[in-house]
A and B are shown apart, each in its own frame.
Chain A
Amino acid sequence: MAEVTDTTLNIWLNGKAETLTSGELIDLLPRFKSPFAVALNGHFIAAVQYPGTQLKAGDQLDIVSPIAGG
């Protein structure tokens, strides 16, 4: 992961290291296609909770979408 600075934040996004410039979850989401659901550090984050959810260094963020399954 990149070195943490005052203006950046290093997290794990879908299992990969990611450096963010904003700690607001809501700022990260536009890059993902709907429908998706979010878990932060293994816990579900409901859509109504997106605004106001603050990320911190080392967080593990999972964003999932439908796939085929048996």
Chain B
Amino acid sequence: MNPDFNVYGTKLSSRLILGSALYPNPALMQQALQQSGCEAVTLSLRRQAPEQQGGEQFWQLVRDLKLRLLPNTAGCHSVQQAVTLAQMSREIFQTNWIKLELIGDDYNLQPDPILLLQAAEQLLADGFEVLPYCTDDLVLCKRLYELGCKVLMPWAAPIGSGLGVLNPYALRTLRERLPDATLIVDAGLGLPSHACQVMEMGFDGVLLNSAVALAKDPVLMAQAFSHAVAAGRSAFLAGAMPKQDFASPSTPVLGMPFWLQEAT
């Protein structure tokens, strides 16, 4: 397991990465990001509409935070779309990091595993540091890792669902089988306890957006997730006690009063 939270050679002290979308207003986004302690934020690109104001304000706020930028390819349905959007992102954001999203189904926004592999291969060859948003499928993740994706971002549940970890077995297996990969659970987390759960499994980090942005108090929820991620990491490092199906008294039995030893 990686002792550091290592994203393509960059060590991050916070294991929480937040998205920048869906907040009630830009000021709350800024406060939530600051209070979370995160060092990286996701963002995207869309067609510029001069008649729509606000884009410049968003960009200025994000720049002022001086966080590492993780642009995504959200909404892409083909390899060409994803590659082009990644290239545009690299030029604007001046980073080789790309959160590769390639949607295979519009109902659950499930990543397309086949196109994901094809796009990842092209982007890696073009010098990108690819962080693929993927399902928790072990073989897919192994193939992505073998291609050169040092960071993998399996889902816990569909984007924006807040359902938490739907398949803990699959995530545990990923951690077990890919001990040297940087594994970040991305998408589907709704509560700090969900984040804590995957960090306890040994995941390297957590990426989320909706759970914070759509909370009644996004700033407080950002702090809650920060604590949960740190707690889960500490618990993983501490090592959990073994489970058993029967009770074991924690208070010593020896010396219990009111008990009489019958003469033999």
Q: Which residues of A contact B (CB under 8 A)?
A: 14-15, 31-33, 35-39, 42-44, 46-47, 62-70
Contact status B74-A62, CB under 8 Å? no
Say yes or no: A65-B74 contact (C-beta < 8 A), given A32-B50, A42-B81, A43-B84. no
Say yes or no: A39-B84 contact (C-beta < 8 A), given A46-B91, A69-B43. yes
How extensive is the interface on chain B, given as a class? 35 or more
Q: Is B145 an interface residue (CB 8 A)?
A: no
Contact status A66-B84, CB under 8 Å? no
Q: Which residues of B contact A (CB under 8 A)?
A: 19-23, 29, 42-50, 55-56, 58-59, 62, 71-72, 74, 80-81, 83-85, 87-89, 91-93, 159-160, 209-210
Q: With a CB–CB cut-off of 8 A, which chain B residues contact A44?
A: 83-84, 87-88, 91
Q: With a CB–CB cut-off of 8 A, which chain B residues contact A32?
A: 48, 50
Jot down 19 A-B pairs with beta carbons below 8 A, ordered by A.
A32-B48, A32-B50, A33-B55, A35-B92, A38-B88, A43-B80, A44-B84, A47-B91, A63-B48, A64-B47, A65-B48, A66-B43, A66-B58, A66-B62, A67-B43, A68-B20, A69-B20, A69-B42, A69-B43
Q: How far is the CA of A42 from the CA of B87 in the complex (A)?
A: 11
Q: How far is the CA of A39 from the CA of B84 in the complex (A)?
A: 7
Q: With a CB–CB cut-off of 8 A, which chain B residues contact A43?
A: 80, 84
Contact status A68-B81, CB under 8 Å? no
Say yes or no: A63-B21 contact (C-beta < 8 A), given A39-B88, A46-B91. no
Q: How far is the CA of A50 from the CA of B178 in the complex (A)?
A: 44
Taking A33-B56, A35-B59, A68-B21 as known contacts, 16 extra A-B pairs with beta carbons closer than 8 A to each other, sorted by chain A number, are A32-B48, A32-B50, A33-B50, A33-B55, A44-B84, A62-B47, A64-B47, A64-B92, A65-B59, A66-B45, A66-B58, A68-B43, A68-B58, A69-B43, A69-B72, A70-B20
Q: What's the least CB distance linking B221 to chain A, in Å?
A: 15
- Chain B residue nearest in CB terms to A43: B84
Contact status B46-A64, CB under 8 Å? yes
Contact status B48-A33, CB under 8 Å? yes
